[in-house]
Amino acid sequence: MRTTVVAVVMVMLCVMMVDADTKPQREFSLQRFAGTWYRVGLAYDSERFVPFRDKLKVSQGLVTALPNGNVNLTMWDATPLGCQKKTYHYEKTNVAGQFTYFSTRHNMVKDITVVDTNYSEYAVVLKHKVYNREYTQVALYGRTQTVRIDVINKFKAFALSQGFPREAILTPPPAENCPAARSG
């Protein structure tokens, strides 16, 4: 009986600690967050992703704020197969800065939290599975293809604090011509 109570209290403490670390940006403003971002950092500790780590390039994203508070995101990823454009739809939750989306790749609902942003320079975004709250990715976005070294270092420290090993924390080089520059 006693051990059960202790176990429950410990589980609750763990949940609270995780929550404390991953609260969304205070007074998150989607209007200010909209526009172009570059994914300049990625912490992703998936076995299947290991062979792709050194092929990763900076991706470009366009965040469109919809009138109902949801988000359309267009991403351009430079891959060995060329520049690939993908669109995503994120639905707002009752917590500002937190969104859910349906991952067709993993066939489940996941959620996304904008943990920290100053809108004009950088954003740290957490992506995780809703139900077990297992963190799968932390991304650093910049308004430009390169960001200040102290912003990078803060991102790395945050990813380490979330349990990512150093080799899973990537800061890829810029992409070339992705999306392709308009000609004519």
Ligand X SMILES: *[C@@H]1O[C@H](CO)[C@@H](O)[C@H](O)[C@H]1NC(C)=O
Long-range contacts of 91-99 (CB under 8 A, 24+ apart): 92/30, 92/68, 95/24, 96/24, 96/27, 96/28, 96/30, 97/24, 97/25, 97/28, 98/24, 99/70, 99/71
Asked if 89 touches ligand X (CB under 6 A), the answer is: yes
If binding is defined by CB under 6 A, does position 36 make contact with ligand X? no
Q: Least distance to ligand X from the beta carbon of 91, Å?
A: 12
- The span of 34-42, 64-72, 100-108, 159-167 binding ligand X (CB under 6 A) equals 64-72
- Regarding 120 and contact with ligand X (CB under 6 A), the answer is yes
From 50-58, 93-101, 113-121, 161-169, give the range in contact with ligand X by CB under 6 A: 113-121
- For ligand X, the binding residue among 18, 34, 72, 75 (CB under 6 A) is 72
Rounded CA separation 171/169 (Å): 7
| Residue 45 main-chain phi, psi, to 5 deg | -105, 60
Q: Residue 108, SS3?
A: strand
Q: Is 68 one of the binding residues for ligand X (CB under 6 A)?
A: no
User: Which among 104-112, 115-123, 131-139, 157-165 is the span making contact with ligand X, rule CB under 6 A?
Assistant: 115-123
CB of 92 to ligand X, least distance (A): 14
Is residue 87 close enough to count as binding ligand X by CB under 6 A? Answer: yes
86 touches ligand X by CB under 6 A: no
Number of residues that bind ligand X (CB under 6 A): 8
The number of beta carbons lying within 10 Å of the beta carbon of residue 131 is 10
State how far the Cα of 42 lies from the Cα of 90, in Å rounded to an integer. 19
Examine residue 118 and tell whether it contacts ligand X (CB under 6 A).
Answer: yes
Q: Which of 121, 130, 161, 176 binds ligand X (CB under 6 A)?
A: 121
With 0-12 / 13-18 / 19 or more C-beta atoms within 10 angstroms meaning exposed / middle / buried, residue 99 is buried
**Whole-angstrom distance, CA of residue 63 vs CA of residue 33:** 8
Q: Which residues of this protein are in contact with ligand X, per CB under 6 A? A: 64, 66, 72, 87, 89, 118, 120-121
